[in-house]
Amino acid sequence: MNRQKLVHEVIAMLKLTEAPFFSIGNCYYYRRICIDLNKGYENVFDTSTDIWRPLNEHELKILVSKGFSRGNQYLVIKNSRLQLKQSRNDFHIASAKKNDKDKLKYFKKAIDAINKLREMIGY
């Protein structure tokens, strides 16, 4: 199934579901998922990062098969793991440069990602 068909299935799910959505204009928000319904530009975005990115096919398949709640959990866990990995790499670079200010910043980011993962997993 191609990406456009998956996006239209998510839009159909939006119309059938009773999940609590917040709407602004033609955009519907469910936690960290944004569904844009502008005619001709329909898309589904992940809003948990600084730059909104369209969901890829794998993430859309999870959203269609498991629902909005499980799809949101998957996105949170995936983005937290990526943030942890990137913060760890940046921490090592700051350590090599002996930059204490950046070391502390990336350490705090890594701790935030770990705490978010613990909360999502229920540890």
Model confidence pLDDT, tens digit, residues 83-117: 999 999 999 999 999 999 999 999 999 999 999 88
Per-residue b or e along 38-56, where b marks 16 or more CB atoms closer than 10 Å to that residue's CB: eeeeebbbbbbeeeeeebe
For residue 7, give the nearest of 59, 49, 78 by alpha carbon.
59
27-72: per-residue pLDDT in tens? 999 988 999 999 889 999 998 877 889 999 999 999 999 999 899 9
The reported pTM is 0.82
What tokens does 5 get? 């068909």
